[in-house]
Amino acid sequence: MNNNKDNEYRTSDLYFAAYLQVAGVPMLRPERNGNGKVSFVFDSTISNVDELKHAWLAQSGKVAALPYANAIKTLKSVCHMS
């Protein structure tokens, strides 16, 4: 999901969000909608998110395993906050 507003990239995919974080894309904020679903908002001016998304979908993106696992844990905790 991407609603490109003012150079922001939004995704509700927790694993892709973790990948973006580890790839160096700064997360601006999480956003919770009325149904409680969380979207992660990234600054797309720093990195080429479209290239990273292509690598993700092509299964050719490379990030370090431990930071990726830690990013998943952190983002899950954000999702479970009220």
Q: What is the pLDDT of residues 19-75, one digit of tens each?
A: 999 999 999 999 998 888 999 999 999 889 999 999 999 999 999 999 999 999 999
CB atoms within 10 A of CB 22: 20
Total tally of structural domains belonging to the chain: 1
In a domain, 30, yes or no: yes
1 pLDDT band, cuts 50/70/90, is low
In terms of DSSP bridges, do strands 27-32 and 38-43 run parallel, antiparallel, or are they unpaired? antiparallel
**34 vs 74: CA distance, rounded Å:** 22
In a domain, 13, yes or no: yes
In a domain, 3, yes or no: no
Three-state DSSP state, 68:
helix
